[in-house]
Amino acid sequence: MDKIIIIGGGVIGLSTGWQLLRKGFDVEIIERGEAGKSAGWASAGMLAPEAELGFEEIELFRLCKKSFDLYPEFIEELEEDSGIHVHIDKSGSLMVGLDRDDNERLRRIYVFREEVKMPVTWLTGSEARELEPLLSPKCSGAIWIAEDAQVDNREMLNALKIAIINKGGKITEYTKVDSVIIENNKIKGVNTEKGIVYGDGAIVSAGAWSKQINGIPEELKPPVRPVKGQIISLKMDENYKLQHMVRAPDVYILPKHDGRIILGASSEEMGFDINPTAGEIYKLLERGWEAMPSIYDLPIISIDVGLRPGSRDHEPIIGGCGIDGLFFATGHFRHGILLTPVTAYELSGQISTGIESKTLENFQLSRFFKEQKI
């Protein structure tokens, strides 16, 4: 397998393509819009596996934690290949409660995380405000997660594009892939609106559009849908120096090194609509203000909207499917930035060696078709 075509130039497609180039493959990434300007751009860049874990998501947590641990190596390689410094902030995060009900919910979360041996600390409201003075006086308790971090996702996306070009890869933008070409159960290339691109393998990493790629047998199309997310960027002033990532009920608030504060994010089943809406922006601002009243006077810099690829079980789909040369890397939902290193390393390794990744065994497409042989 010499040439790999990657359908989709978001963070997953770019990072996997870059790693394949490092392994000696010829790579072309085909993106329907501008590469790097999809869901990963409209993201906060949080690297917080402990904070993201749900009560029934142990396997997903393990994948997120492995990816988190790979980040230093990933960023070091990326900076080397791109010449761009990518900021990582390791200042930790707070999960805060604002009333008795919040506290009870946080206590359950805290006990669960302690049971699975996560490094978390319970704080009273006053202890939380001592750590982060800008928290509301209503803060009634918090979980402190010292290991949590964040990356500048936009710097990372720009660095990935430059690294790909530096390594001899090709990025074709504003070009829609209509279908894959399969002959005798093997990938031969893809049909685009501008013509055929031939290749020995193809990775469907088209995010929310992954299910719309034609030519894939219906029973093998990934069950992925768009989940709309809106975020707000505020301008931090000299009197408002937020130090840590904060998760309050239905909102997160985090500082960026360039002076922005990010409030996010909505989660909406609105199809492919990418318009910001007054109602969701109002809710984010209200929830953010309840947790940190001093955001009230901060200027709004921008509102960004992204379409996250949500699978049926909200876990990623990474790996092959029984058709020679056809792979998937999609469905990362809220975890695309966090899961970037493990997806890129493991999938490129699987393609390079021909050996299925044990790390990815619980995230195969086949889990949705257990009664069908694929």
pLDDT band at 33 (very low <50, low <70, confident <90, very high): very high
Rounded average pLDDT over 341-358: 98
Tell me what the pLDDT averaged over the chain comes to. 95
Predicted local confidence at residue 31, as pLDDT: 99
What stretches of the chain adopt beta strand conformation (E)?
3-7, 26-30, 46-47, 88-89, 93-97, 121-124, 141-145, 149-151, 170-172, 177-183, 186-192, 195-198, 201-204, 224-235, 245-248, 251-255, 260-264, 300-311, 317-320, 326-330
Calpha distance 336→96 (Å, rounded): 24
Predicted local confidence at residue 314, as pLDDT: 94
pLDDT band at 52 (very low <50, low <70, confident <90, very high): confident
pLDDT over threshold 60, residue 234: yes
pLDDT over threshold 90, residue 256: yes
Rounded average pLDDT over 222-241: 93
pLDDT over threshold 50, residue 24: yes
Contact 364, 331 (CB under 8 A): no
Rounded average pLDDT over 70-87: 98
pLDDT over threshold 90, residue 2: yes
pTM of the model: 0.95
Predicted local confidence at residue 55, as pLDDT: 64
Predicted local confidence at residue 58, as pLDDT: 85
pLDDT over threshold 70, residue 167: yes
pLDDT over threshold 80, residue 374: no
Q: Which of 117, 121, 95 is nearest to 106 (CA)?
A: 95
pLDDT band at 372 (very low <50, low <70, confident <90, very high): very low
Predicted local confidence at residue 50, as pLDDT: 80
pLDDT over threshold 60, residue 196: yes
Structural domains for the chain: 3-82+153-223+313-369 (3.50.50.60), 93-146 (no CATH)
Instruction: Quote the tokens at residue 107.
Output: 């206590």
**Cα(first)–Cα(last) distance of the chain, in Å?**
21
Rounded average pLDDT over 355-362: 96
Predicted local confidence at residue 373, as pLDDT: 44
pLDDT band at 371 (very low <50, low <70, confident <90, very high): very low
Instruction: Quote the tokens at residue 126.
Output: 């006053």
Rounded average pLDDT over 231-240: 90
